[in-house]
């Protein structure tokens, strides 16, 4: 088990494309770290640099304090699960899992022990003699994970391992990988574009965009205190609502003023938005912080038109329009909403987050 540290890691491709910029991440022993971001954000490149499959242009990568920039992948003592599984098609499941041990010249009995143990953990004992083409997607996924487990490596790397599975299987494997992490007590680095995977699995999440690390934090920290508009919009589903508003002061109260409504700023936000009086600012509010109100409340509510109603059973997602902005709200099922309804909604202003209109940085205490 190991600590992995990235110090000022950058990757520039031959054409001059900068895929990763000055990445600094410390991955503690036994930690489950998720790199998340939209495609092209550099998360996979970062993972491949940790694996040794991609040269590091700049910076230092250490595993357990040892500089490994120029150590070939085979000597880094890492295991990787690929997005397309990359099972060896000409080998049986058993041989697929034993490959890494055979090549390291482990004794036969030890190999057999480890493969059968891993097969038991992953419940693929009955598939050992099959070839990969005779397996379903989920089974291939398990074999790929098994191939990593038998090695008992210092670090596990996962490159979007669930994106080829169907939705139901994905949820199941998500839980299994989390359970595996608890069981093996191993350092794991996991790349995904799916923020739900990141939130549900990670001890620590690294949000990336355009080659830059945006924010590193634990799931709830990122959710409640996103550092900028990108992180706020990326983490959470449905995403946070953003509205361009102006800050105005009237009778000692600060208001966020949109074309069609004005709501009073409250709580921790009052001192934060004070410097923005008379200026534009971005007003962010999460879908669950919008509450239906049966009457208008001046200075507190906003009038919206319902455009789409998505009843999910436990809750309803409402896509609405203020006249100037589209919003989504997550509401309980105790009220019947119809498309075209004009209703009042009260945002929980204590939970609102404001962003600087220029830098898009969050105004946090």
Q: Which residues bind other proteins (CB under 8 A)?
A: 14, 51-53, 72-74, 78-80, 82-90, 99-100, 103-104, 131-135, 137, 140, 147, 151, 157, 164
The minimum distance between CB 240 and other proteins, in angstroms, equals 33
Query: What residues have CB less than 8 Å from 327, skipping those under 6 apart?
Result: 241, 243, 287, 290, 304, 319, 320, 321, 345
Which of 53/357 has CB closer to other proteins? Answer: 53
The minimum distance between CB 281 and other proteins, in angstroms, equals 46
Which of 147/262 has CB closer to other proteins? Answer: 147
Distances (CA, A) of 296 to 192, 293, 301, 304: 43, 7, 6, 11
Which of 53/196 has CB closer to other proteins? Answer: 53
Distant-in-sequence contacts of 127-136, Cβ < 8 A, 24+ apart: 127/93, 128/92, 128/93, 128/94, 129/92, 129/93, 129/94, 130/92, 130/93, 131/89, 131/90, 131/91, 131/92, 131/93, 132/85, 132/87, 132/88, 132/89, 132/91, 132/93, 132/96, 133/89, 135/93
The minimum distance between CB 137 and other proteins, in angstroms, equals 6
Strand partners, 215: 207
The minimum distance between CB 140 and other proteins, in angstroms, equals 7
CA 198 to mean position of chain CA atoms: 3
The minimum distance between CB 234 and other proteins, in angstroms, equals 26
Which of 162/363 has CB closer to other proteins? Answer: 162
Which of 5/160 has CB closer to other proteins? Answer: 160
Which of 14/294 has CB closer to other proteins? Answer: 14
The minimum distance between CB 288 and other proteins, in angstroms, equals 36
């Amino acid at each position: 088990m190991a600590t992995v540290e990235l110090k000022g890691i950058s990757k520039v491709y031959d054409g001059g494309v900068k895929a990763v910029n000055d990445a600094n991440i410390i991955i503690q022993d036994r930690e489950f770290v998720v790199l998340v971001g939209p495609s092209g954000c550099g998360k996979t490149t970062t993972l491949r640099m940790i694996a040794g499959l991609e040269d590091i242009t700049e910076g230092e990568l250490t595993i357990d304090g040892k500089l490994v920039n120029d150590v070939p992948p085979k000597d880094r003592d890492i295991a990787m699960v690929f997005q397309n599984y990359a099972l060896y098609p000409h080998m049986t499941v058993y041989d697929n899992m034993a490959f890494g041990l055979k090549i390291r010249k482990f004794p036969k009995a030890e190999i057999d022990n480890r493969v059968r143990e891993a097969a038991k953990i992953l419940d693929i004992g009955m598939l050992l003699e099959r070839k990969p083409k005779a397996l379903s997607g989920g089974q291939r996924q398990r074999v790929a994970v098994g191939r990593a487990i038998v090695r008992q490596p210092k670090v596990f790397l996962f490159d979007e391992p669930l994106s080829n599975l169907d939705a139901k299987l994905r949820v199941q494997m998500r839980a299994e990988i989390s359970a595996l992490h608890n069981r093996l007590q191993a350092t794991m680095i996991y790349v995904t574009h799916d923020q739900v995977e990141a939130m549900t699995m990670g001890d620590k999440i690294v949000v990336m965009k355009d080659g830059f690390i945006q924010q590193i934090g634990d799931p709830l920290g990122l959710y409640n205190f996103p550092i900028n508009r990108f992180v706020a919009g990326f983490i959470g589903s449905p995403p946070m609502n953003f509205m361009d508003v102006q800050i105005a002061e009237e009778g000692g109260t600060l208001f966020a003023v949109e074309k069609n409504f004005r709501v009073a700023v409250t709580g921790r936000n009052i001192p934060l938005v004070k410097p923005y009086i008379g200026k534009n600012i971005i007003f962010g509010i999460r879908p669950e912080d919008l509450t239906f109100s049966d009457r208008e409340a001046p200075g507190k509510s906003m009038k919206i038109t319902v455009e789409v109603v998505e009843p999910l059973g436990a809750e309803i997602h409402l896509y609405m329009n203020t006249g100037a902005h589209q919003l989504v709200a997550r509401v309980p099922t105790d009220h019947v909403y119809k498309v075209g309804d004009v209703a009042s909604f009260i945002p929980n202003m204590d939970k609102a987050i404001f962003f600087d209109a220029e830098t898009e940085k969050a105004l946090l205490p």
